[in-house]
Amino acid sequence: MSMEPLLVAGGRVIDPSSGIDRDMDVLLRDGRVAELTAPGVLKPQGRAVLPAKGCIVAPGLIDLHVHLREPGQSHKETIATGTACAAAGGFTAVCAMPNTSPVNDSVEITRWMQAPEREAMVRLFPIAAATVGSLGEKLTDYAALQKAGAVAVSDDGRPILEDAIMHDALRLGARLKLPVVQHAEDTHRTAGCSMNLGPTSFRLGLRGMPNAAESDIVRRDVALARETGAHIHVAHISTTEAMEAVRQAKKSGIHATAEITPHHFTLIDENVGEFDSHCKMNPPLRSAADRDAMIAGIADGTIDAIATDHAPHAFHEKQVEFERASFGIIGLETALPIAITVLHHHFKLPLWRIVELLSSGPARVFGLEGLGTLAPGAHADVTIFDPAKKWTYDASHSRSKSRNTPYDGWSFTGKVIATIVAGRVVYEG
């Protein structure tokens, strides 16, 4: 890299991986973090300077769970638009789920996604399918996929229900130190359901998904992880019971981790209102009690990462009869602002915990070396944000190809100021 060194000057550095939370300047050189110094020690001569006064300077944010829709569904999103959206949200790395068309169950697709022609604006780590075609029958070639760049395996959206298959997936994952990510849903108990089971689903005349459809699978997976010594990662946790299962698993030394989406700690099933399909996702928005349990799990360390489950869908896939509408919302641009607004300003969680949940936490979950940290020598991925800046989200300006968000017109406190990937500024707000 022959790029000019970049000095991020005058900001407050929060780097949970090194225990730093104080005003410092950060020098980025040759795609790496060169040094951190007291403010003003490094002179700006010969360097580009990015002023960060009043801002938090954090390790680049990492999203463990996005759907970039390529190959095969580029009317919803492409790797280029999805990663541009990520950059605008302060994310410097995203992990792309394999439910593309065709399903990413091969070395070829895994490599294709990472090719320079995709024009990814931030780092992209594929998560490969855990079974061929995500059909839950035959394991994919984990070793080859891992070698091709896959950071985990998952049949996201088509959970592995068969005990024997899940056991085999975890056993192989354990041998390769490859996390197995499960979207925990007993789909036999959620057929025809389009939201959470409760008073709101009754009022709206919609079939509801019970909490147990999630938590029973989480309990089963945790038990299998204990047996196999594997790393089970629970995707988008949403229920009180599943949170408790992960909490107990961690206490007993099982390698279980969990991510949570901003919507599951912010919204509840009542937000569906009068059939707002922008509040239709899977897992569904749960009860207020579940939402409170999510906040408790974030506060007590049960949760390892905030992940968006960014799921773009076109207008004609969302603005249809509620029961026929696709599940999911876009989330890359709103995750950090929601985390700051809800977790920091409302629930009084310290900013370092939010930075941890979005950087060092997810880096640790998938073992992403040199990411999620500002330690000298680490990749020069940095996110700069103003935790006090108030702004209003306008979905019509989203960098995503899709507009399916419940947060259009929401006011947030906390805004991304700049996103830096490998020492290069890829977004300025």
Residue 406 in contact with other proteins, rule: CB under 8 A:
no
Q: Which is nearer to other proteins, 314 or 425 (CB)?
A: 314
Q: How far is the CB of 404 from other proteins (least distance, A)?
A: 14
Residue 76, CA distances (Å) to 145, 263, 394 in order: 25, 20, 18
Which of 304, 309, 381, 386 is an active site residue? 309
Which of 41, 143, 320, 388 is in the footprint of other proteins by CB under 8 A?
A: 320
Q: How far is the CB of 241 from other proteins (least distance, A)?
A: 18
Which of 43, 205, 348, 397 is in the footprint of other proteins by CB under 8 A?
A: 205
309 is catalytic: yes
Q: How far is the CB of 157 from other proteins (least distance, A)?
A: 22
Q: How far is the CB of 240 from other proteins (least distance, A)?
A: 17
Q: Which is nearer to other proteins, 322 or 412 (CB)?
A: 322
429 token code pair: 């707000």
* CB of 242 closer than 8 Å to CB of 218: yes
With b meaning 16 or more CB within 10 Å and e meaning fewer, what string describes 9-33? bbbbbbbbbeebbeebbbbbbeebb
Residue 288 in contact with other proteins, rule: CB under 8 A:
no
CA distance 68 to 79: 5
Question: With the C-alpha atoms ordered 361, 347, 327, 288, is the resulting torsion angle positive or negative?
Answer: positive
Angle in degrees, 0-180, between the axes of helices 212-228 and 163-176, rounded to the nearest 10: 50
**Is beta strand 382-392 parallel, antiparallel or unpaired with respect to 123-128?**
unpaired
In degrees and rounded to multiples of 5, residue 420 shows phi and psi of -120, 125
Residue 409 in contact with other proteins, rule: CB under 8 A:
no
Q: Which of residues 236-275 bind other proteins (CB under 8 A)?
A: 274-275
* Burial (CB count <10 Å: 0-12, 13-18, 19+), residue 384: buried
Q: How far is the CB of 321 from other proteins (least distance, A)?
A: 4
Q: Which is nearer to other proteins, 197 or 222 (CB)?
A: 197
Side chain identity, residue 305 = A
Q: Which is nearer to other proteins, 88 or 329 (CB)?
A: 329
Tally of CA atoms within 13 A in the half-sphere of 411 that contains its CB: 4
Residue 394 in contact with other proteins, rule: CB under 8 A:
no
Which of 206, 224, 256, 416 is in the footprint of other proteins by CB under 8 A?
A: 206
Side chain identity, residue 107 = V
Q: Which is nearer to other proteins, 261 or 277 (CB)?
A: 277
Q: Which is nearer to other proteins, 198 or 284 (CB)?
A: 198
- Across-strand partners of 154? 181
CA distance 343 to 348: 6
Q: Which of residues 324-353 bind other proteins (CB under 8 A)?
A: 324
Q: How far is the CB of 322 from other proteins (least distance, A)?
A: 5
Residue 375 in contact with other proteins, rule: CB under 8 A:
no
Q: Which of residues 174-203 bind other proteins (CB under 8 A)?
A: 197-199, 201-203
Residue 289 in contact with other proteins, rule: CB under 8 A:
no
Tell me the site size for other proteins, rule CB under 8 A. 18
Side chain identity, residue 265 = F
Residues marked as catalytic: 309
Which residues would be at the binding site for other proteins (CB under 8 A)?
197-199, 201-206, 274-275, 316, 319-324
